[in-house]
Amino acid sequence: MKQAPEHLVHLIEPIVEGLGYECVGIEYHPHPRHGLLRVYIDSENGILVDDCSKVSHQLSGVLDVEDPIPGNYQLEISSPGADRPFFKLKQFEQFVGSKVVVNLFRSVDGRKKITGLIDRVEDDVIFLQENGQIYQVPFDVISKARLVPEYSFEKGEHSGK
Protein backbone atom coordinates (compact mmCIF):
# COMPACT_ATOMS: atom_id res chain seq x y z
CA MET A 1 0.00 0.00 0.00
CA LYS A 2 1.46 3.35 -0.99
CA GLN A 3 1.62 5.27 2.25
CA ALA A 4 4.18 7.85 3.30
CA PRO A 5 7.47 6.60 4.79
CA GLU A 6 7.18 5.29 8.35
CA HIS A 7 9.07 8.20 9.92
CA LEU A 8 6.41 10.60 8.60
CA VAL A 9 3.53 8.35 9.69
CA HIS A 10 4.99 8.05 13.21
CA LEU A 11 5.40 11.83 13.40
CA ILE A 12 2.02 12.86 11.92
CA GLU A 13 -0.52 10.25 13.16
CA PRO A 14 -0.17 11.07 16.89
CA ILE A 15 -0.62 14.78 16.22
CA VAL A 16 -3.77 14.26 14.14
CA GLU A 17 -5.22 11.81 16.66
CA GLY A 18 -4.25 14.10 19.55
CA LEU A 19 -6.44 16.78 17.96
CA GLY A 20 -9.38 14.35 18.03
CA TYR A 21 -9.37 13.21 14.39
CA GLU A 22 -8.80 9.87 12.71
CA CYS A 23 -5.70 9.84 10.52
CA VAL A 24 -7.07 7.90 7.54
CA GLY A 25 -3.76 7.93 5.69
CA ILE A 26 -0.78 9.95 4.54
CA GLU A 27 0.56 10.26 1.01
CA TYR A 28 3.97 11.67 0.22
CA HIS A 29 4.96 12.46 -3.35
CA PRO A 30 8.57 13.69 -3.35
CA HIS A 31 9.76 16.10 -6.00
CA PRO A 32 12.75 18.47 -5.95
CA ARG A 33 10.56 21.57 -6.38
CA HIS A 34 6.91 20.47 -6.10
CA GLY A 35 6.71 17.80 -3.39
CA LEU A 36 3.31 17.03 -1.85
CA LEU A 37 2.45 15.75 1.62
CA ARG A 38 -1.28 14.93 1.78
CA VAL A 39 -2.89 13.94 5.07
CA TYR A 40 -6.43 12.50 5.05
CA ILE A 41 -8.42 13.12 8.23
CA ASP A 42 -11.89 12.08 9.33
CA SER A 43 -14.23 12.28 12.32
CA GLU A 44 -17.67 10.98 13.26
CA ASN A 45 -19.16 14.38 12.40
CA GLY A 46 -17.38 14.63 9.06
CA ILE A 47 -14.71 17.16 8.14
CA LEU A 48 -15.11 20.88 7.50
CA VAL A 49 -12.59 23.43 6.21
CA ASP A 50 -12.01 24.62 9.80
CA ASP A 51 -10.96 21.08 10.76
CA CYS A 52 -8.44 20.96 7.92
CA SER A 53 -7.14 24.39 8.88
CA LYS A 54 -6.71 23.37 12.53
CA VAL A 55 -4.74 20.23 11.61
CA SER A 56 -2.70 22.09 8.99
CA HIS A 57 -1.68 24.78 11.48
CA GLN A 58 -0.61 22.22 14.09
CA LEU A 59 1.24 19.99 11.62
CA SER A 60 2.99 22.92 9.93
CA GLY A 61 4.55 23.96 13.23
CA VAL A 62 5.78 20.46 14.04
CA LEU A 63 7.04 19.82 10.50
CA ASP A 64 8.95 23.14 10.53
CA VAL A 65 10.66 22.20 13.81
CA GLU A 66 11.30 18.51 13.06
CA ASP A 67 12.15 19.13 9.37
CA PRO A 68 11.62 15.48 8.30
CA ILE A 69 11.35 16.24 4.58
CA PRO A 70 14.24 17.69 2.57
CA GLY A 71 13.43 20.41 0.06
CA ASN A 72 10.19 22.17 -0.67
CA TYR A 73 6.78 20.55 -0.46
CA GLN A 74 3.15 21.51 -0.11
CA LEU A 75 1.15 20.31 2.90
CA GLU A 76 -2.44 19.42 2.08
CA ILE A 77 -5.05 18.32 4.63
CA SER A 78 -8.13 16.64 3.18
CA SER A 79 -11.22 14.68 4.11
CA PRO A 80 -11.21 11.21 2.55
CA GLY A 81 -14.36 11.96 0.53
CA ALA A 82 -16.92 9.49 -0.78
CA ASP A 83 -14.22 7.63 -2.73
CA ARG A 84 -11.99 7.37 0.34
CA PRO A 85 -8.53 5.90 -0.15
CA PHE A 86 -7.51 2.87 1.89
CA PHE A 87 -4.08 2.71 3.51
CA LYS A 88 -4.51 0.14 6.28
CA LEU A 89 -5.80 -3.41 6.51
CA LYS A 90 -8.32 -2.38 9.18
CA GLN A 91 -9.99 -0.06 6.65
CA PHE A 92 -10.86 -3.07 4.49
CA GLU A 93 -12.27 -4.78 7.60
CA GLN A 94 -14.33 -1.66 8.38
CA PHE A 95 -15.92 -1.68 4.93
CA VAL A 96 -16.72 -5.38 4.41
CA GLY A 97 -19.66 -5.54 1.98
CA SER A 98 -18.62 -2.31 0.21
CA LYS A 99 -17.26 -2.01 -3.31
CA VAL A 100 -13.61 -1.03 -3.81
CA VAL A 101 -11.25 -0.63 -6.71
CA VAL A 102 -7.72 -1.91 -6.08
CA ASN A 103 -4.60 -1.56 -8.21
CA LEU A 104 -1.92 -4.18 -7.68
CA PHE A 105 1.89 -4.14 -7.80
CA ARG A 106 1.77 -7.66 -9.25
CA SER A 107 -1.09 -9.59 -10.76
CA VAL A 108 -3.48 -11.84 -8.85
CA ASP A 109 -5.16 -14.45 -11.06
CA GLY A 110 -3.99 -12.50 -14.11
CA ARG A 111 -5.46 -9.19 -12.86
CA LYS A 112 -3.64 -5.96 -11.94
CA LYS A 113 -6.85 -4.07 -11.18
CA ILE A 114 -9.95 -5.43 -9.47
CA THR A 115 -13.24 -3.69 -8.74
CA GLY A 116 -15.32 -5.75 -6.39
CA LEU A 117 -17.09 -6.17 -3.08
CA ILE A 118 -15.02 -6.79 0.03
CA ASP A 119 -16.24 -10.26 0.97
CA ARG A 120 -14.02 -10.69 4.02
CA VAL A 121 -10.54 -10.16 5.42
CA GLU A 122 -8.52 -13.06 6.81
CA ASP A 123 -5.06 -12.42 8.23
CA ASP A 124 -3.39 -10.17 5.62
CA VAL A 125 -5.60 -11.27 2.70
CA ILE A 126 -8.59 -9.35 1.34
CA PHE A 127 -11.21 -11.48 -0.42
CA LEU A 128 -12.81 -9.48 -3.24
CA GLN A 129 -15.85 -10.65 -5.16
CA GLU A 130 -16.17 -9.50 -8.76
CA ASN A 131 -18.74 -10.97 -11.15
CA GLY A 132 -19.20 -14.07 -9.00
CA GLN A 133 -15.48 -14.80 -8.75
CA ILE A 134 -13.53 -14.42 -5.48
CA TYR A 135 -10.00 -12.99 -5.69
CA GLN A 136 -7.63 -13.51 -2.75
CA VAL A 137 -5.57 -10.33 -2.64
CA PRO A 138 -2.62 -10.16 -0.25
CA PHE A 139 -2.52 -6.72 1.38
CA ASP A 140 1.14 -6.23 0.48
CA VAL A 141 0.49 -6.42 -3.29
CA ILE A 142 -2.01 -3.53 -3.25
CA SER A 143 -0.51 -0.33 -4.62
CA LYS A 144 -3.69 1.74 -4.39
CA ALA A 145 -7.23 1.17 -3.15
CA ARG A 146 -10.33 3.35 -3.04
CA LEU A 147 -13.93 2.93 -1.99
CA VAL A 148 -16.37 3.07 -4.89
CA PRO A 149 -19.20 5.39 -3.82
CA GLU A 150 -22.73 4.01 -4.14
CA TYR A 151 -25.18 6.64 -5.31
CA SER A 152 -28.91 6.10 -5.43
CA PHE A 153 -31.00 8.29 -7.67
CA GLU A 154 -34.63 7.26 -7.42
CA LYS A 155 -37.06 9.16 -9.61
CA GLY A 156 -39.43 11.25 -7.53
CA GLU A 157 -37.38 10.97 -4.33
CA HIS A 158 -35.85 14.00 -2.73
CA SER A 159 -33.32 13.67 0.07
CA GLY A 160 -33.22 17.36 1.03
CA LYS A 161 -35.20 18.52 4.03
Residue at a domain's end among 54, 78, 102? 78
Q: What is the CATH number of the domain that holds 50?
A: 3.30.300.70
Asked if residue 104 and residue 55 are part of one domain, the reply reads no
pLDDT value of residue 154: 67
Domain of residue 112 covers 89-147
H/E segment holding residue 57: helix 49-66
Asked if residue 73 and residue 20 are part of one domain, the reply reads yes
Asked if residue 65 and residue 37 are part of one domain, the reply reads yes
Q: What is the CATH number of the domain that holds 119?
A: 2.30.30.180
Q: What does the radius of gyration of the chain's CA atoms come to, in whole angstroms?
A: 18
Q: Tell me, rounded to whole angstroms, the distance of Cα 69 from its chain centroid.
A: 21
Asked if residue 134 and residue 108 are part of one domain, the reply reads yes
Enter the DSSP assignment of 36.
E
Asked if residue 72 and residue 12 are part of one domain, the reply reads yes
Per-residue confidence in pLDDT tens, the chain, 161 aa: 567 889 999 999 999 999 999 999 999 999 888 899 999 999 999 999 999 999 999 999 999 999 998 888 999 999 999 999 999 999 999 999 999 999 999 999 999 999 999 999 999 999 999 999 999 999 999 999 999 998 767 665 554 44
Asked if residue 10 and residue 68 are part of one domain, the reply reads yes
As for how many domains the chain has, the answer is 2
Cβ atoms of 15 and 35 within 8 Å: the answer is no
pTM: 0.85
Q: Distance between terminal CA atoms of the chain?
A: 40
Q: Phi, psi at residue 139, to the nearest 5°?
A: -55, -35
Cβ atoms of 119 and 128 within 8 Å: the answer is yes
